[in-house]
Amino acid sequence: MLIDSHCHVQFNAYKNDAEEVIRRSLEREVKMIVVGSQASTSERAVEYAKKCDGLWAVIGLHPVHLTSQEVDEEEINFHSREEKFNYNFYKNLATDEKVVGIGEAGLDFFHLPKNLTLAEVIKIQTEAFEAQAELATELNLPIAIHCRDAHQALLPILQKFCKNGRLQNRGVAHCFTGNWFEAKGYLDLGFYIGFTGVITFPAKKTNPQQQLNLIEVVKNTPLDMILVETDSPYLAPQEHRGKRCEPWMVIEVAKKIAEIKNVPFEEVAEQTVKNTLNLFSKIKIS
Ligand SMILES: [Zn+2]
């Protein structure tokens, strides 16, 4: 068994066949944490989780949805609407027993809207992130962190939050693609590191060092601090590159970790499931 700790099977990419996609993954013994990115997809994540055994929801507001802009991700383009973080809406949604965490929340300085200055974007994103860290603290839930080109800004916020027993359940740096120095910043605070299909990609000719750095992070991160995920529908592993990603493909991510760490696949599967259950402690597997 594996748990895809971060996927979006409630997104429009699956609007015609979500049920089949979920079934295909469950048949391969892959359970799923369905992560919201805004109000509508958070609600839908809870709806799916309630309907289905082996699915749980994480709810929150992704930084790219705080401003209006074009987003282009691996052949999937969308226009994000401007949404404000409504604390009580998410707090209310989180009362459902199948909601196991808050997120994805964080900072994204890669996708920048054209009509705002960087300082304005930082302010908007920081406020929404802090509000979600506050909610996670209040509800005693872990937080799923999205961070792109912004670790230096995000880590000090987490450090501030983790003081005095706050944000006690910590969280996960989801879809980690940074270097070891950045990864250590999260690990030192007790955060897990989430790896996606990106670890299976070949090095880019234009910047081979980036992939070498990421492999070094996989090597150095203790297996008991690693979560596996797909971030479906994005980032299909190399085996399936170019296709729509589905949660069962998380098998490729676990295989790659086993290869890099030179341990059996079963050990990676067993330990990452254990880690996921440790972090998202509201998950009950019957
Ligand atoms: Zn995501």
Q: How far is the CA of 229 from the centre of ligand 1 (A)?
A: 9
Q: Hey, how many other C-beta atoms are within 10 angstroms of the C-beta on 148?
A: 17
The conformation of residue 108, written as its DSSP 8-state character, comes to E
Mean pLDDT by 10 residues, the chain (286 residues): 97 94 97 95 96 97 85 59 91 97 95 88 95 96 95 94 88 96 96 98 93 97 98 94 96 98 98 98 88
pLDDT at 222: 98
Domain-embedded: residue 200 = yes
Domain-embedded: residue 41 = yes
Domain-embedded: residue 241 = yes
Domain-embedded: residue 88 = yes
pLDDT at 71: 65
Domain-embedded: residue 67 = yes
Q: How far is the CA of 231 from the centre of ligand 1 (A)?
A: 5
Residue ranges near ligand 1 (ion) with Cβ within 5 Å: 231
Residue 102 corresponds to which amino acid?
Answer: I
Q: How far is the CA of 187 from the centre of ligand 1 (A)?
A: 20
Q: How far is the CA of 7 from the centre of ligand 1 (A)?
A: 6
Number of structural domains, the chain?
1
Q: How far is the CA of 32 from the centre of ligand 1 (A)?
A: 13
Q: How far is the CA of 62 from the centre of ligand 1 (A)?
A: 8
> Residue 85 class from Cβ within 10 Å (0-12 exposed, 13-18 middle, 19+ buried)?
buried
pLDDT at 73: 57
The DSSP secondary structure of 66-99, one letter per residue, reads: GS-EEEEETTEEEEEPP----HHHHHHHTTSTTE
Q: How far is the CA of 193 from the centre of ligand 1 (A)?
A: 14
Domain-embedded: residue 285 = no
> Residue 37 class from Cβ within 10 Å (0-12 exposed, 13-18 middle, 19+ buried)?
buried
Domain CATH for 34? 3.20.20.140
Instruction: Enumerate the H helices of 28-179 as residue ranges.
Output: 39-51, 87-93, 118-139, 151-161
pLDDT at 81: 67
Q: How far is the CA of 244 from the centre of ligand 1 (A)?
A: 14
What is the domain range of residue 39? 2-279
Domain-embedded: residue 286 = no
pLDDT at 180: 97
